[in-house]
A and B are shown apart, each in its own frame.
Chain A
Amino acid sequence: MLSTNRESPPPAAGRAAMKKELADQFKDHRHVWVFIELERDQVHPVSFELLGEGRKLADKLGVQLAGVVLGPPGEATWFAIAEAFAYGADLAYIVEAPLLADYRNEPFTKALTDLVTNYKPEILLLGATTLGRDLAGSVATTLLTGLTADCTELDVDADGSLAATRPTFGGSLLCTIYTLNCRPQMATVRPRVMAMPPRGNNKIGRVIQHKVSMIEEEIVTKVLGFLSDGQSATANLAYADVVVAGGLGLGAVENVKLMKKLARTIGADYGCSRPLVQKGWMPADRQIGQTGKTIRPKLYIAAGISGAIQHRVGVEGADLILAINTDPNAPIFDFAHLGVVTDAIRLLPSLTELFTHRLSPHSRDKLAN
């Protein structure tokens, strides 16, 4: 929410907006939609995470859950639909056109706003990926409806309104945001914030095909090329099973390598909290937290990270959080499972050494015997 003075009490004129007074034009909006993000033949896993969350919202509202797929004619697009059903959708909307092969704002915005205008969803969820954010902002502005970014919790309240909770003020507080008087109610959620739902049976539902009312000649923007990150290391941080991260407690840029060495030793991915990016010690795509990546590893080791809510929302889905910090009052100890009050710089080399000892093939063999 880019706002000017949101924290001051709203003036009297704004109070009217706090009540739900849905205009007639919005009264027939029904159902929960999840935008299924398909880029370069790959469905982004955030779409399945959103289907899991959308399923809960749809069940509470007693409505159907739909997946929305925009893509080029071909197998990948239909595969995306099959996957949407497998992860809980009751029906699917599909727009198939060659001009939807590569993501461009113009045709995707047109196709999605057309679908919304025609089929009137009550709630529309998108992943807060680069694609999802680019698209959501355009669609919400075109439809003149509310859009809440980077939600960490979604719910339906007593009068059936979407209650979207997100961190605010740099992550120090949470706020719950409603779009009371416009439809659809739109929200984005970052990858890994919601749990991956189980993949169900190959249930198949109704598929509604729609045509995009646009031709290639009308689209100004052309894709000249695409350079894939391929196996680049950062691509998997959000989905890594084990993550080691460092914060300001590392004290100096040269100590970052102590953290990286531990990560390498145990086959973990690595990241950092925001201050290290701001200091230039680590690249932005390694940042973990509300504005960086959200992770849900089996094991998370936080070295010298104090654990502001901004960081907390990015890691609290981890199964086991281990915190190392010199400050016994650091907030990270409020949500870690196991903590040690000590200097991470001194502990990291010992951790690396002992993990090496314990995990080496030799000692594993001994254990097996």
Chain B
Amino acid sequence: MHIVICIKQVPDSAQIRVHPVTNTIMRQGVPTIINPYDLFALEEALQLRDRHGGEVTVLTMGPPMAEDALRKALTYGADRAVLLTDRHFAGSDTLATSFALSRAIAKIGEAFGTPDIVFTGKQTIDGDTAQVGPGIAKRLDLLQLTYVAKIVSVDINGREITVERRSEGGTQTLMSKLPCLITMLEGTNEIRRGSLDDALRAARSQIVKWNAADAGIEDLAKCGLRGSPTVVKRVFAPPERAEKAEQIDTAEKTPRDLAEELIAGIFLRQPALESELAFDGE
């Protein structure tokens, strides 16, 4: 079977700082990582390949430096990496991103075999929209299975797949058909350590680099800013609150003193809480 997985190189969000004066993002020196949710999808793809045979192609769209993320994916054991990179993609919103990625996946299908499953993580940690996966599915007319916690079974010959997906109040078991697009939840599997063989192979591997034309994209108006119906009009720091928290003076007080003051402070501000707190102490 042929599996395509879309990953994204993202700044390690825990280390992003905002310039205090200009309110712009300071990217210098911020390390990049593979979007953590995508790793669960990658692991699932690799496990399916190991079980059923076939190949895993990893795809990303981004600047040339996104090659690093692809090489990392190869060290985990992906068979092939495709970098979709072109200045025409700059400023893409989720609709334009799903367009470009879907064209690249179609091209991957022509070049290396039609994918049986396309994977993505449930969302990225920088955009957090969870919209690109469903967007790609719709663009390629694939069945979509989002928030998948577990792939119960795949029947390659019967073209059937059964998955468990999280919904708001429980877990839904769905049977669907291949090909399909799956977005994986976090924590679904233990992410492997790449083997030495894979690391060596990754270091030597050629990464397939495509621009818009290579990916068969003729209509550049569907890409980048021009292809994005959403427009970012304003970026700003959150407004400051007028008043800061009232501080309890900690000088020479024991934790018990402080706890007493805090509790008094709570009930002073919210007297009704005292009778509402459901006591469950021993």
Measured CB to CB, the residues of A under 8 A from B are: 1-8, 10-11, 13-14, 16-18, 39-40, 42, 44, 102-106, 109, 129-131, 133-134, 136-138, 140-142, 144-150, 163, 168-182, 220-230, 235, 241-242, 264-268, 274-275, 278, 283-284, 290-291, 298-299, 309, 312-313, 319-323, 332-342, 346-347, 349-356, 358-361, 364
Contacts and interface: CB of A to CB of B under 8 A. Distances in A.
B129 interface: yes
B77 interface: no
Given A7-B24, A174-B235, A353-B256, 4 more contacts: A3-B94, A14-B224, A142-B138, A267-B277
Given A44-B168, A173-B18, A283-B187, A7 B25 contact: yes
A14 B27 CA distance: 23
B169 A144 contact: no
Contacts of A109: 138
Given A4-B92, A5-B90, A178-B230, A149 B129 contact: yes
23 contacts: A4-B62, A7-B27, A17-B226, A130-B165, A134-B134, A136-B131, A140-B135, A141-B138, A147-B131, A170-B126, A172-B17, A172-B18, A173-B237, A177-B233, A266-B279, A298-B270, A322-B266, A332-B245, A338-B269, A339-B248, A340-B248, A342-B250, A354-B263
A351 B263 contact: yes
Size band of the B side of the interface?
35 or more
Interface of B: 8, 11, 13-14, 16-18, 23-25, 27, 36, 61-63, 89-95, 97-98, 123-135, 137-139, 143-147, 162, 165-177, 185-187, 224-226, 228-238, 240-241, 244-248, 250, 254-256, 258-263, 265-266, 269-270, 273-282
Which of B18, B228, B248, B262 has the most C-beta atoms of chain A within 10 angstroms of its own C-beta? B262
Contacts of A334: 240-241, 244-245
Contacts of B130: 133, 137, 149
Given A13-B225, A137-B135, A319-B270, A18 B247 contact: no
A222 B175 CA distance: 5
Given A13-B225, A275-B14, A3 B167 contact: no
Given A1-B93, A339-B248, A228 B170 contact: yes
A337 B240 contact: no
Contacts of A5: 63, 90-91
Ranked 6 nearest A-B pairs via Cβ:
A267-B278, A137-B134, A14-B225, A170-B13, A339-B245, A146-B229
Interface of B (DSSP majority class): mixed
B88 to A, nearest CB: 9
A18 B98 CA distance: 21
Given A3-B127, A138-B138, A291-B128, A130 B166 contact: yes
A149 B174 CA distance: 26
B277 A11 contact: no
